Amino acid sequence: MTASRREYRADTEFTENMAGPDIFSILADKELADTLKFILEIGKLKSVIRQTYMPQQGRRENTAEHSWHLMIMAILLQKQSNEPVNIEHVLKMLSVHDLGEISKGDTIHYSKTDATNAEEKDFIYDLCSPLPIALKDEILSLWNEFESGETSDAKFARALDRFQPFLYMLQNGGESWQRNKITHAMALKKNAHIADGSQTLWNIYQILSNRAEEDGLFFIDSAVSAEALCTLREGKS
């Protein structure tokens, strides 16, 4: 092997003296070069670890896996949407909806604030800024549509975004609920917007979450009386 060739090592990251995104500067098509750089940059989503624990794999899922899982769910569950949806549009929306997490990582749904959302928005606008105008506008439009949650497509996409981690909570013994002190009442209140996209999925959520509470998967606040817990279980709160 000559001195000018590099030996591939799977356990070694690129260093400054190795060919990186700047290699694309030799391309005559600058828009294509910028798009290729963007493609590499969003690959960082694979390194963002989410709150959701996957017991069968013995680890937490990453955000890229989460986005892929939602896209498959959208295809399989599209008939459960309250209104007909443009499935291609939904898939595009789901593919970009969490790109903002590249900057700050995954924030538990129950802890998100206006400030958190603003930071993600600033980041994704910066992230997309080098792209050709048409591509940039499309991605930002999809991201903003998901965040606003006003269209039928967005409502369905957002319903799936909340339903997917719920399925894992049922499988992993409520690991994230317990660790983050999430009660049944908190979960019902925070995820009620699932009904905006799919009443069927929200009905299932309530049925299964009631059973999850009976099985002790949710965090139980010691300050809540036994009588209050019974009221929550009966859906009278």
* 55-59-65-71 Cα dihedral, nearest 10 degrees: 20
Domain CATH number, residue 34:
1.10.3210.10
Domain-located, residue 11: no
Domain-located, residue 219: yes
Q: List 62's β-bridge partners, or say none.
A: 49
Query: Strands 59-62 and 49-54: what pairing?
Result: antiparallel
DSSP code per residue over 26-78: G-S-HHHHHHHHHHHHHGGGGG-EEEEEETTTTEEEEHHHHHHHHHHHHHHHG
Report the percentage of the chain scoring pLDDT > 90: 72
Domain-located, residue 8: no
Domain-located, residue 13: no
CA–CA dist 66, 97 (Å, integer): 11
Residue count of the chain, please give it: 237
Domain that holds residue 92: 28-233
Cβ atoms within 10 Å of 56's Cβ, excluding its own: 8
* Mean confidence (pLDDT) of the chain: 87
Domain-located, residue 116: yes
Res. 223 pLDDT band, cuts 50 70 90: low
Task: Specify the number of domains making up the chain.
Answer: 1
Are 50 and 62 contacting, i.e. CB atoms less than 8 angstroms apart? yes
| pLDDT given for residue 105 in this prediction | 79
Q: Give the pLDDT confidence of 164-182 residue by residue, as tens digits.
A: 999 999 999 999 999 999 9
Domain-located, residue 107: yes
SS3 164: helix
Domain-located, residue 178: yes
Q: Give the pLDDT confidence of 10-51 residue by residue, as tens digits.
A: 444 444 444 565 889 899 999 999 999 999 999 999 999 998
Q: Give the pLDDT confidence of 184-210 residue by residue, as tens digits.
A: 999 999 999 999 999 999 999 999 999
CA–CA dist 128, 200 (Å, integer): 36
Q: Measuring CA to CA, how many Å separate 89 from each of 1, 98, 154? A: 49, 16, 9
Domain-located, residue 122: yes
